[in-house]
Amino acid sequence: MADTAPVMICASGPDKLAIFFNAGWLTFTGRTMEQELGYGWTDGVHPDDLAECLASYSASFDARTDCHIEYRLRRADGEYRSVACNGAPRFAPDGVFAGYIASCTDITDAKRAQQKELARQKLESVGMLASGVAHEFNNLLGGILASSELALAESAERSRVEDTLQRIRTAAIRGGGIVRQLLIYSGNEGPALEAIDVSLVIEEMLPLLRVSISKHAVLKIDLGKQFPEVRGNSSQIRQVVMNLVSNASDAIGEHSGVISVSTMLVRARQDSFGPDVTKLPKGDYIRIEVSDTGIGMTPEVQARIFDPFFTTKFPGNGRGLGLAVTQGIVRAHGGNISVRSSGQGTAFDVLLPCAAKTARETGSPIAFPGTEKIASRARTILVVEDEDLLRLAVSKALTKRGFSVIQACDGSAGIELIRVHKNDIAAVLLDVTLPGKSSREIFEEVSRFRPSVKVILTSAYGEETVARSFMGLRVEHFIRKPFQLAELVGVLQDALSD
């Protein structure tokens, strides 16, 4: 009966020495009965688990209690597998203690499935956290951006004050891009694509790159100018460059070395890109090369370098996701990434397809609120926004632009103002996430009282995410936080001219 059971079975005598193993155990371990008897079975226990295994076994044996032990046991093919052993004391008919009987089960696959599920749940939790943080942070960035633009418009002396406010404004715009990556990571939206100058994006990163690399490394830059634009996401391109430079710095470590970053325009036939990238369409590509003079890679490492969770770093210094994410970003942009290493030094080549036109000229003047043509007649705008800094800055800017503005700090106040001023309101700038009455209730209230009133939804989340909250309602106008005030005025004017 023991030999036909679908589990491994073993038994011991009152002296703790093993006296029996069934066919399942012997088949699993690939050993004979003679080899396993006594304490011979411990030869197959993983060395790291042996002491704890024997201690638990002995303690249960001495107390005559049920025994539950989990340890790694070497299978016949040499692989250590996790097994769960459950033993119980056995007694002779006269009540004399006779030893233990135990059944053991291979639980390796079940543990791996459990760990995979826990990892998935952890990623979901991180995604939820990223989504919530992104929403709150974007609200703050919206207030910073609106306030700095308003101060620029009002500043009489455009010297040191202007330079400082310009830096605040630039930081808010870049911060908004970083937050959007959090939302993309959390699965709430896809990356927004635009025409970008790759060399300019990298040039803007140089101060950050220089302070991020090893103190033993020298950063050399060779960025081409006036290249065609690439249609992509600037935040993700920055992430690609940062990941590659960070890896190059790790490769140099505590030794002196050089990290080189360059861009060039590749005009070539499809077959000239090499065997690894022949699937790319013919055409022009911007090539980003990040190389180092570090320790290099073996062919085995190069073969696995883009695998998720593969890392050559010490435990705790990396999770093995950087290059996998980098490859995913590059492929999502229609490009390719490859690695070259010959024993010393490594070079990564990123190819991104060019858009049709030449990179746009930079440094164009900013259109500040108050410089556009003033509206021919005052229109009343209801601003419903719970972030005080953003609401006050937007309201003041719209007032300077020629609009008449009334404000509500929550959904309940917004409903009340709609009822009081229903004959005056021309448009509602409506934050999607509000305390009190929901934005959907406000939208429905506006539709009942004055269907002609234009509703412009605004949120730190993307338009697709917002649309799901307003299923069944006709959403025509949306502006994403953090927005520039000139953008908002344009959206308002478009809505009111419909």
415 and 437 Cβ atoms separated by less than 8 Å: yes
pLDDT band of 126, cuts 50, 70, 90: low
Average pLDDT of 182-195? 60
Residue type, 394: V
- Name the helix (H) or strand (E) containing 218: strand 217-222
Q: How many residues does the chain have?
A: 498
439 and 433 Cβ atoms separated by less than 8 Å: yes
Domain 8-106, second-level architecture: 2-Layer Sandwich (3.30)
pLDDT at residue 451 tops 80: yes
Please give the Cα distance from 245 to 260 (Å, whole number). Answer: 9
pLDDT of residue 348: 92
358 and 268 Cβ atoms separated by less than 8 Å: no
Please give the Cα distance from 496 to 404 (Å, whole number). Answer: 14
pLDDT at residue 374 tops 80: no
Question: pLDDT by residue (tens digit) across 77-119?
Answer: 999 999 999 999 999 888 899 999 999 999 999 888 887 876 7
Read off the tokens for 330. 């590059």
Read off the tokens for 34. 């003679």
Please give the Cα distance from 251 to 193 (Å, whole number). Answer: 32
Q: Which residues pair with 491 in a beta bridge?
A: none
pLDDT band of 74, cuts 50, 70, 90: very high
pLDDT at residue 224 tops 80: yes
Please give the Cα distance from 446 to 418 (Å, whole number). Answer: 7
Rg from Cα positions in the chain: 33
pLDDT of residue 294: 86
Hey, what CATH class is 198-358 in? alpha beta
pLDDT of residue 350: 93
pLDDT of residue 79: 92
**CATH of region 380-497:** 3.40.50.2300
pLDDT of residue 359: 43
User: Measured on CA atoms in the order 329, 332, 334, 340, is the torsion positive or negative?
Assistant: positive
Query: Between vectors from CA 68 to CA 62 and to CA 73, what angle results, nearest 5°?
Result: 110
If one counts every other C-beta atom within 10 angstroms of the C-beta of residue 361, the result is 8
pLDDT of residue 75: 94
pLDDT of residue 177: 62
Burial category of 364 from C-beta neighbours within 10 Å (exposed 0-12, middle 13-18, buried 19 and up): exposed
pLDDT band of 205, cuts 50, 70, 90: confident
Burial category of 146 from C-beta neighbours within 10 Å (exposed 0-12, middle 13-18, buried 19 and up): buried
Average pLDDT of 193-215? 84
Among all chains, which residue has been given the structure tokens 């599920």? 117
* Helical segments of 269-361, H only: 299-304, 322-332
pLDDT band of 490, cuts 50, 70, 90: confident
pLDDT of residue 423: 86
pLDDT band of 316, cuts 50, 70, 90: very low
User: Measured on CA atoms in the order 231, 234, 235, 238, is the torsion positive or negative?
Assistant: positive
Look at 172 and 266; give whichever has higher pLDDT: 266
Read off the tokens for 281. 């369409």
Average pLDDT of 256-263? 92
pLDDT of residue 176: 67
Mean pLDDT computed over every residue of the chain: 80
pLDDT at residue 12 tops 80: yes
In sequence order, what are the residues at sequence separation of 6 or more whose Cβ sits closer than 8 angstroms to the Cβ of residue 269? 282
pLDDT at residue 436 tops 80: yes
pLDDT of residue 246: 86
Question: pLDDT by residue (tens digit) across 129-145?
Answer: 566 666 666 666 777 77
pLDDT band of 154, cuts 50, 70, 90: low
Between the two ends of the chain, the Cα-to-Cα distance in Å is 84
290 and 242 Cβ atoms separated by less than 8 Å: no
Q: Say if strands 8-12 and 18-21 run parallel, antiparallel, or are unpaired.
A: antiparallel
Among all chains, which residue has been given the structure tokens 């229903």? 422
Share of the chain above pLDDT 90, in %: 32
pLDDT of residue 88: 93
Residue whose C-alpha is closest to residue 245's, from 216, 215, 271, 214:
214
Please give the Cα distance from 198 to 234 (Å, whole number). Answer: 8
Look at 216 and 8; give whichever has higher pLDDT: 8
Read off the tokens for 65. 């209690």
Q: Say if strands 283-292 and 194-196 run parallel, antiparallel, or are unpaired.
A: unpaired
Read off the tokens for 335. 């490009």
Read off the tokens for 196. 């970008």
44 and 73 Cβ atoms separated by less than 8 Å: yes
Phi, psi values for residue 139, rounded to 5°: -60, -45
446 and 428 Cβ atoms separated by less than 8 Å: yes
357 and 198 Cβ atoms separated by less than 8 Å: no
What pTM does this model have?
0.42
276 and 305 Cβ atoms separated by less than 8 Å: no
Please give the Cα distance from 376 to 224 (Å, whole number). Answer: 47
Share of the chain above pLDDT 70, in %: 77
3-class DSSP state of 117: helix
Average pLDDT of 470-478? 86
pLDDT at residue 155 tops 70: no
